[in-house]
Structure formats: C-alpha cells, structure tokens
A and B are shown apart, each in its own frame.
Chain A
Amino acid sequence: MRKVIMGNHAVSYGVRACDVKVLSAYPITPQTQVVELLSEMCASGEIDAKFIKVESEHSAMTACVGASAAGVRAFTATSAQGLLLMHEVLHWAVGARLPIVLANINRAVGPPWSIWTDQNDSLSQRDVGWLQIYCESNQETQDTIVQAFKIAETVKLPVMLVLDAFFLSHTFEIVDILEAKDVRKFLPPYVAETKIDVDDPHSFGNLGSPSEYFELRYMIQKAMEEARDVVKDVDIEFKEHFGRGYGVVHPYRCDGADVILVTSGTVASTTRAVIDEMRDEGIKIGSLKIRLFRPFPVEEVYEVLSKAKKVAVIDRNISFGHHGIFFQEIKSALYGRTDVPIFGYITGLGGRDVTPKVIREIADRAVSDEKQERDINWIGVKV
C-alpha cells in the first residue's frame, strides 16, 4: 500500500512493522509526530507494544535499556537537547550490547533556541558506539528502520537513524508502506542472546575491573567493524525482499568526475539536481552521499573519491575548534592513500536553507579553487 506521509510518520510505520514491544519517548519538536502516531497505534491495538510515558529523554532511553535487557525490541525517538540528555544512557546501551533503535530528527542545539535542522546533535554522539545512518527520503527512512533492527540484533549494538528536521521530518512523500506480516520474513522474532531472566539470574552491568573492561571495549570495536559488512548485507537482503536498497554510500554521476561533492541527508537530493545542471553544462562533477556514518565506510568512500581530482565536503555541522565533521572523516579515510585535494564547506547551520544556488556556489568554488586556502570555507555566513 502506498501512502503520502510525512517523514516522521515514515519512522512510525517502519516501527509498526517490526514487532517492537516497548516504546518510550518524551515529546520534543521536531520528533513529536513519530511517537504521537506510535502511541495511537498502541492505543488502537494496531501494534502490540507497551508505551512507557516518562519525564525525560534520559528516562526514555533508560526504559528502552531495561526493555532491551529483558529481551524485547525497544524503540525511541528524539531530537537535539533530548538526545543530549540521553547521552549517558546511550553509552549504557552500547556497553550492555543492546540492539535498541532510535530515530533522531536532526535539530540544532540551543542556545539560541532553535527547532531547525543541523547535524551537531547526532554528530556529537559520534563516539558513543551507536551505528548512525543518515536518511534522505521518507521511503528510505521507513525501510531503514526495518533494516536497523536487523543490523542491531546481528551485531548487538544500537542503531541511530538520523533525518533532517522539517526538510525530511515534516515533508510529505509517497511511501510504500511495509506490513508486519511481510517484514517478519525478513526480520524474524527477536531472540536475545543474554537477557534478564528470573529463572536464570545473573548480574548485569556490574563492576568490571581493568582485567575485563579493555576486552569488552575491544569486542565493541570488533562488532562495529563487522557492522560494515552487516549493513551492506542487510541492505542487499532487504532489496531481495522488497525491491529497494540504499547502499552504505550513494555515488551519483561519479564516473569520470573531476570533482565530487560529498553530502549527507536531504542536501544529497538537492546536490544531485545541481550535478545534473552542471553535467548539462559539460562540467565533470558528481556527488557522493554518505548514508552510513558509523561505522564509517572507509573502503566505499576511498573507492569513489580516489578517482576524483578534487573532493568537496559539505558539512551542516561544525566541530568547534577544528572543522566540519564529515570533512574530518573523509580526510581521515583517505589519509596516506591518495593525494586528492579535499575542500571543506560549512553551510546551513541552524536550519538555514541549503538551496541549489548555495550548492552551485560550493561546486563552482570547488571547480575553480586550485589551492586549499584554509580548512573551513564558510558558505553564506554574513562576515
């Protein structure tokens, strides 16, 4: 069945199909409709889950940790300050190896108070050990939720879906709705490897001395490395079931491209329109969307970018005191393997529009600039 729905509801529909048993969230714009629709689905019996109302995002994530530790699927959604309030418990979910799925609607962090999009909220959770997948369309969002549970339960790490506030969360698109009965064939019922069980009592989350802690962290990294393949394999399997796949990166018209623009989120779609326009003008340019951010798809990125003469990274985020975060990641991925110059552009912070005109300006500069003058090229800032 195809429906015209908003991005937030695409999240809800994805969750609806996954036999999730515990939902817990605290309302925050621009995420609210995600759990609003889910709570209605719970109330109507459309999904058989417990919806736990809480007083904060910290508690929402804690409820998910408890549910997941008890061996059931758990889901939550949040934005910005909410995600930051969860921070401590995000670590817990990783350390306890709990396959929780979270949808974060990218919202700029206050102050100044903002409800509009940028990526600093999710990217500031880069190192906690959650997988991060950045979505571009409502269809991809719904489908990625289903993939996320499968990935999470395979590698035993939590997965965070990320979508842009308003540009995606509140934008209506046609979505081919997934039904639980079909999804079940792809995503079998969840059987936890370890769980809290009164008939087999163990202590969880206990003290770990230096003689064990290190190894447990080693195992998390190994799981992350394994996840690079798992994300790809799950995507392929999903495509076999439902005819749609997204890859871990999405190269667009990169064959023979001298310049490649690196993007993420909804900026990727806008960029592709600009690529088409410039290709029509005979400019050899392409784009690469980064879908999987953690674990970072180093090989796929190298494969595409090493063939270009210039790389331009568009960041809707900033690591204060250094530079754009995707820019850092790309540089780190290519370090020592290619001499291709990499340019970093920061734009669209706090929800400022990243229009085709803005991207064209970036592309033109990338094409004409011979030498990198500085790491950060600010686009659109009133200096």
Chain B
Amino acid sequence: MGEKITFKSYKEMPINAMSIADMTWNLTGSWRNIRPYYDFKMSPCRLGCPAMEDIQRYIFLVTEKRYEEAWGAIIENNPMPAVTGRVCFHPCMDKCTRKDFDQAINIPAIERSLGDMGLENRDWMKKVDASKKEKVAVVGSGPAGLSCAFYLARMGYQVAMFESEKALGGILRWGIPEYRLPNDVVDRVISQILGSGPITVRAETTVGRDIGLDELEKEYDAIFLGLGLMKSRSLGIEGEKGKGIEPGLEFLKKVNSGETVSPGKRAVVVGGGNTAMDVARCARRTGSDVTVVYRRTMNEMPAIKDEIEEAEKEGVHFHFLAAPKEVVRSGGKLAKVVFQEMELGEPDESGRRRPVPVEGRTFELEVDTLFTAIGEQADLTGIEKKVECEWNMIKTTGEAGETSSARIFAGGDVVTGAASVVDAVAAGRKAAGKLDRIFTSADEPAVEEPKTVGIEEINTAYFHQTKRTLVPRIPVEEALKGYLEINSGFLPEQLEAEADRCFSCGVCNFCDNCWMYCPDVAIVRLEDSYEVNYDFCKGCLVCVVECPRGCISTREEGK
C-alpha cells in the first residue's frame, strides 16, 4: 500500500475516479475497505466451565453422531463426564447464549449421555504406558486427585495414588447420595481412570499419619495433595457431643455404604449447602419428617438451586433465619433444640448479609436427630508441618496449586474450601499440566484473553424458539422409596434434539451459509474449513451478517 497522496490542483489528478497506485495488493481496489476473516471464538459456555470443557465442540460432534470423538473432546479437560454430567452445578448453562433467546442448552444432560457412553464403550479409553521417568504421588482419590492422576498418566508419568479409605472416590463415594450419583457409576469411572495409564493405588494409607510427606518426597518427584474436606464442622454449642446429634458427612457415608440409618420421626438439618440438602433428602428416604434450618434465607443458600427445589419437592421443610442455641436432652435422649432467631445485618466478606441474633427471640423444635451440615474441614494432620496452611486449608501461591513447598501441589476443596467437583477436576488438571512443564522445562503457555460472542453476534433469524429438552425423572413418590437415581438420562432422540439446539457460538460448524450467500463467490470451501478469496471479496460483509454464530470478524484494509 502506497502513502497517502494529497493533490494540490485538479491538474495533478486523474480524469476520473481511479487509483494512481498499483492495486495488486488489493485486487478489488478500494471496494473492499473492510476485510472479513474467519475468526473462531470461544463459546461462552466453555468460558463458564471451570474445567474449560470444549462444550461447543462435543455438542457439534453429537450433532454429527460422532460420539466417540465427542466423548474424547470432553476427556481432554475432564476425565469424569459421567460424574459431572450428574452432579455439576453447570455454570456453563448460566453463560449459554441461548438463554437470551429461549432457554439455555441442557449441557449437563448431554455431558452425562456422553460420559455414560464412554463407560459403556470401554475401548474408547486408550491405555497409555509409562513413557517418562518422573513419578508423582497423588494424595487423595476424590475428583482433584483422580483428575491430576489421570492427566499425569496421559502424559506418561507414573502415578501412585494414596487413599485413607479402602475404596477410592472421596467425596464422590462418601458425600454424594446414590440418587444423584450411583456408586456403580463412581466405581466404573474410577476403574476407567485407573486403567487408562500407569497409575498404582495405595488404599487405606493416610498420608501424614501412616506415611509422611518427607518419605513421599524422597520417593517421588512431586506430590499432589487432593485431600478434600472430610470432617464436619462442629456447631460449637452446649451439649453438642452426645446422642442424637450427628455430623452430616458421617450420616451420608453410612447411607452410601448401605448401612441402615434411622434418624427417627423428626430430623433437623442445620446448614444451607449441598451437604445439608443431601442429608435432608437421605433422611426423608428413611421416612423422617425433615426440616432444614438455615441461619440466612433461601437467597443466600450455597446449595445448587436444583437440589433445593428437589428437596422441597420431596417434602423437606425449610426454616430460615435461625441457628441452634441449646440442646435439651431428656433421659439421655435428645428431646428438643432451642433455636435463636436471626436477622440479616451488614454484608460480610463473602458479600452475603451476615446473620445476627435477634435479642430475646428463640423457639424450640422437638427433634430426634439433629444433623450438622454447616461446613466441612480438612484433616491436615502431618501435612501442615510440611506445607503452609491457613484457616485449616492448604495455602497455594499459583494458579496450578503451587504451595510453599517446591514440588508439592494442592488442589480441590482442601485449597478452596467447599467448592464443586468440576473445580476440583480443573485443579487436578492444572497441577498435572504445570508439573509436566516443570519436568520438561517447557515454557508457560501464552495467556490470551479469549474472544467470545454474545447474543448480539448470533443471527437469531436462523433459529426457532424451542424449549430445553428435560431429562426424564422418576416421580417423587418413587424417589422417596429408596436411592434409585432420579435422573434417568436422555433417550437417544432427546440427545440429538438437545444438541441440535446449540448455537455453536463463535465456532464454525460448517453450515455453509457464508459460502452460499457470498455474492462474489469468494468463499472457498476447504476440507474442514473455509477461506476467503480476497481477489474477489469486495468486503460487503454479507458473510459476517449471515453467519448464524459470529465466526467471521472484520478488520479495516491497509491498517
């Protein structure tokens, strides 16, 4: 491109509107002053997923009925779609562009279908052999530990998993009731992960008690701590120790182990998180009348909204703005609990309004069993002397879970406090990636702010308004009879229908619109992409407008 010419007189000008300079740099002349170019973005759902699952891609592959590849696309970022497809709080759906059009895509249901297919089709998971000399100890076999082990093994590292319990799975096995996540699924997911590469297991071995971190450090090149939070926090009130008061997690562990539990006629669950919901719903299944008492209101409840709704459907009562104050026993048995009425005060550091007692306002409930579900704690015995801890959690210094000790990483709830399975999966993968870069002395990948699209970039004229495809569920009365999984998963035609709803925001799915609409026949169809033939593109940008999903960006010519 030449420099700008300013004419001093008409005598210097050509007789007509023509360029003086050679125009081979832009064969359409100044016709095209804006250039369209293919610029695939990152779908907002993917940005919303803590594990960065390539959601758009696997849904696209489902529409093509390329299920194995679709499953493979998830596995790149999450080794347990059969789990997350069931229990995730799906922040992806909050980001789904389709929610601004009709209803967000039922992403977890699609994920679960693919996850289940991956468990059915055992040959989809190709086994990886050890190819690297480094060995890593992974402590804890919950989602963080499993994820870290899986991705290290994928890269050929030798992994030894340490687990206190006999069976692996951590919170997946002990903390989530079977009606949400059947043990059978947990078993198959773990078996698939363990079978995927050079992973060995040392169960019933508590690191910090049975074996010290120092010993592990000698034997292994790095350690990942995914201990989780396996102790229920105590209420800190008078009479808490004793009959009739049970930590929620222990109750859940009993239920998941198939032990008979009998909380009695009237059960009260104290807390507002997912554990509280799980405990309440399990207690309902024993026939108890269950009330959840929470010191704030429903708006502040940290539990997944769906879980709260399910609990309500199953007949769980809620009592808000109250906290246990005193336990009254009679004849060695729990008789009643005195509750302090609360009100919401100033917001605390979490942004939620702090509950404060209302002076002189209490009430009593007759209770057979009171479950505590006000949070969980880590057991950091033998750990805290090796890595820096803070508020009974491991303190990390970087995105990948780096700790105060050079080759010790940590991730999952033991770092974040009670979070979610998907966060733990993400943490495990990040640590694995970082360890690989340390072992191979590789550079850190460049961090670029990903470009995304919103509803403004979607050409909604190409889409019909439809309703989200809902997953078949067993009726409440059936559900309350036992621990049968409530959500029975998509039927094949439902999977197809729901995948077809995806806008594929910002990512080409080869719909051919650009190719069909280009008035200059300047779009060239390649094997699995398109390109613009700039010898003919006059920059009308019809392709940009007609792309239903915002895959084509523009930039000014000569700039």
Q: Which chain A residues border B14 with CB–CB below 8 Å?
A: 194
**For residues 167 through 214 of chain A, which have their beta carbon under 8 Å from a beta carbon of chain B?**
193-194, 200-208, 211-212
Is A127 located at the chain interface by the 8 A CB criterion?
A: no
- Cβ of B15 and Cβ of A97 under 8 Å apart? yes
Q: Which chain A residues border B15 with CB–CB below 8 Å?
A: 97, 156, 193-194, 219
Q: What 1/0 flags go to B15-40 for Cβ under 8 Å of A? A: 11111111110111111010000000
Q: Which chain B residues border A218 with CB–CB below 8 Å?
A: 10
Q: What is the minimal beta-carbon distance from A68 to any residue of chain B, in angstroms?
A: 11
Is A43 located at the chain interface by the 8 A CB criterion?
A: no
Is B350 located at the chain interface by the 8 A CB criterion?
A: no
Output the nearest chain B residue to A200 by Cβ-Cβ distance. B22
Quick one: given A206-B30, A207-B33, are A201 and B16 in contact (CB under 8 Å)? no
- Cβ of B29 and Cβ of A208 under 8 Å apart? no
Which of B13, B23, B33 is in CB contact (< 8 Å) with A201? B23
Output the nearest chain A residue to B13 by Cβ-Cβ distance. A215
Q: Which chain A residues border B17 with CB–CB below 8 Å?
A: 95-96, 204-208, 212, 216
Distance, CA A39 to CA B434, complexed state (A)? 79
Output the nearest chain B residue to A217 by Cβ-Cβ distance. B10
Q: Which chain B residues border A97 with CB–CB below 8 Å?
A: 15-16
Is B440 located at the chain interface by the 8 A CB criterion?
A: no
- A-B pairs with CB below 8 Å: how many? 67
- Cβ of A216 and Cβ of B13 under 8 Å apart? yes
- Cβ of A207 and Cβ of B30 under 8 Å apart? yes
**For residues 136 through 168 of chain A, which have their beta carbon under 8 Å from a beta carbon of chain B?**
156
Q: What is the minimal beta-carbon distance from B540 to any residue of chain A, in angstroms?
A: 14
Distance, CA A208 to CA B13, complexed state (A)? 12
Quick one: given A211-B6, A219-B10, are A204 and B22 in contact (CB under 8 Å)? no
- Cβ of B33 and Cβ of A212 under 8 Å apart? no
Is B7 located at the chain interface by the 8 A CB criterion?
A: yes
Q: Which chain B residues border A208 with CB–CB below 8 Å?
A: 17
Q: Which chain A residues border B28 with CB–CB below 8 Å?
A: 203
- Cβ of B23 and Cβ of A202 under 8 Å apart? yes
Residue of B7, B16, B17, B30 with most chain A CB atoms under a 10 A cut-off? B16
Distance, CA A20 to CA B394, complexed state (A)? 90
Q: What is the minimal beta-carbon distance from B262 to any residue of chain A, in angstroms?
A: 84
Q: Which chain A residues border B27 with CB–CB below 8 Å?
A: 201
- Cβ of B31 and Cβ of A212 under 8 Å apart? no
Q: What 1/0 flags go to B431-475 for Cβ under 8 Å of A? A: 000000000000000000000000000000000000000000000
Which of B10, B16, B19, B21 is in CB contact (< 8 Å) with A96? B16
Q: Which chain B residues border A201 with CB–CB below 8 Å?
A: 22-24, 27
Q: Which chain B residues border A95 with CB–CB below 8 Å?
A: 16-17
Q: What 1/0 flags go to B326-363 for Cβ under 8 Å of A? A: 00000000000000000000000000000000000000
- Cβ of B19 and Cβ of A202 under 8 Å apart? yes
Q: Which chain A residues border B18 with CB–CB below 8 Å?
A: 194, 202-206
Distance, CA A200 to CA B14, complexed state (A)? 15
Q: In the complex, how many residues of chain A place their beta carbon closer than 8 angstroms to a beta carbon of chain B? A: 21
Output the nearest chain B residue to A206 by Cβ-Cβ distance. B30
Q: Which chain B residues border A96 with CB–CB below 8 Å?
A: 16-17
Q: What is the minimal beta-carbon distance from A252 to any residue of chain B, in angstroms?
A: 39
Q: Which chain A residues border B10 with CB–CB below 8 Å?
A: 215-216, 218-219
Q: What is the minimal beta-carbon distance from A146 to any residue of chain B, in angstroms?
A: 24
Distance, CA A97 to CA B26, complexed state (A)? 24
Distance, CA A219 to CA B16, complexed state (A)? 9
Q: Which chain B residues border A207 with CB–CB below 8 Å?
A: 17, 30, 33
Q: Which chain B residues border A156 with CB–CB below 8 Å?
A: 15
Quick one: given A203-B31, A204-B29, A218-B10, are A194 and B16 in contact (CB under 8 Å)? yes
Which of A203, A211, A219 is in CB contact (< 8 Å) with B29? A203
Q: What is the minimal beta-carbon distance from B494 to any residue of chain A, in angstroms?
A: 51
Distance, CA A194 to CA B15, complexed state (A)? 8
Q: What is the minimal beta-carbon distance from A370 to any residue of chain B, in angstroms?
A: 49
Q: Which chain B residues border A204 with CB–CB below 8 Å?
A: 16-19, 29
Q: Which chain B residues border A193 with CB–CB below 8 Å?
A: 15
Distance, CA A283 to CA B507, complexed state (A)? 89
Distance, CA A205 to CA B14, complexed state (A)? 12
**For residues 282 through 298 of chain B, which have their beta carbon under 8 Å from a beta carbon of chain A?**
none
Output the nearest chain A residue to B16 by Cβ-Cβ distance. A97
Residue of B18, B21, B23, B24 with most chain A CB atoms under a 10 A cut-off? B18
Distance, CA A194 to CA B17, complexed state (A)? 11
**For residues 56 through 107 of chain A, which have their beta carbon under 8 Å from a beta carbon of chain B?**
95-97
Q: Which chain A residues border B26 with CB–CB below 8 Å?
A: 203
Q: What is the minimal beta-carbon distance from B336 to any residue of chain A, in angstroms?
A: 85
Q: What is the minimal beta-carbon distance from B26 to any residue of chain A, in angstroms?
A: 8
Q: Which chain B residues border A215 with CB–CB below 8 Å?
A: 7, 9-10, 13
Distance, CA A97 to CA B17, complexed state (A)? 9
Distance, CA A215 to CA B28, complexed state (A)? 24
Q: What is the minimal beta-carbon distance from B466 to any residue of chain A, in angstroms?
A: 42
Q: Which chain B residues border A216 with CB–CB below 8 Å?
A: 10, 13, 16-17
**For residues 294 through 309 of chain A, which have their beta carbon under 8 Å from a beta carbon of chain B?**
none
Distance, CA A215 to CA B27, complexed state (A)? 26
Distance, CA A238 to CA B244, complexed state (A)? 123
Q: Which chain A residues border B13 with CB–CB below 8 Å?
A: 212, 215-216, 219
Q: What is the minimal beta-carbon distance from A183 to any residue of chain B, in angstroms?
A: 26
Q: What is the minimal beta-carbon distance from B6 to any residue of chain A, in angstroms?
A: 7
Distance, CA A95 to CA B14, complexed state (A)? 12
Q: Which chain A residues border B7 with CB–CB below 8 Å?
A: 211-212, 215
Output the nearest chain A residue to B20 by Cβ-Cβ distance. A202
Q: Which chain B residues border A219 with CB–CB below 8 Å?
A: 10, 13, 15
Quick one: given A96-B16, A194-B16, A216-B16, are A206 and B22 in contact (CB under 8 Å)? no
**For residues 523 through 548 of chain B, which have their beta carbon under 8 Å from a beta carbon of chain A?**
none
Q: What is the minimal beta-carbon distance from A156 to any residue of chain B, in angstroms?
A: 6
Output the nearest chain B residue to A196 by Cβ-Cβ distance. B18
Quick one: given A215-B7, A215-B10, A218-B10, are A203 and B16 in contact (CB under 8 Å)? no
Q: Which chain A residues border B9 with CB–CB below 8 Å?
A: 215
Distance, CA A195 to CA B352, complexed state (A)? 74
Output the nearest chain A residue to B9 by Cβ-Cβ distance. A215
- Cβ of B16 and Cβ of A202 under 8 Å apart? no
Q: What is the minimal beta-carbon distance from A217 to any residue of chain B, in angstroms?
A: 10
Distance, CA A285 to CA B455, complexed state (A)? 79
Distance, CA A120 to CA B548, complexed state (A)? 49
Q: What is the minimal beta-carbon distance from B519 to any residue of chain A, in angstroms?
A: 16
Q: Which chain B residues border A212 with CB–CB below 8 Å?
A: 7, 13, 17
Q: What is the minimal beta-carbon distance from A190 to any residue of chain B, in angstroms?
A: 15
Q: Across chains A and B, which 7 residue pairs bring their CB atoms closest together, nearest first?
A: A203-B29, A206-B30, A215-B10, A203-B19, A97-B16, A202-B19, A203-B23
- List, sorted by A's number, 25 A–B pairs whose CB atoms are closer than 8 Å: A95-B16, A95-B17, A96-B17, A194-B14, A194-B16, A200-B22, A202-B20, A202-B22, A203-B23, A203-B30, A204-B18, A204-B19, A205-B17, A205-B18, A206-B17, A206-B29, A206-B30, A206-B31, A208-B17, A212-B7, A215-B9, A216-B10, A218-B10, A219-B13, A219-B15
Residue ranges of B at the interface with A (Cβ–Cβ < 8 Å): 6-7, 9-10, 13-24, 26-31, 33
Given contacts A200-B22, A204-B18, 12 further A-B contacts (CB under 8 A): A193-B15, A194-B15, A202-B21, A203-B28, A204-B17, A204-B19, A207-B30, A211-B6, A211-B7, A215-B9, A216-B17, A219-B15
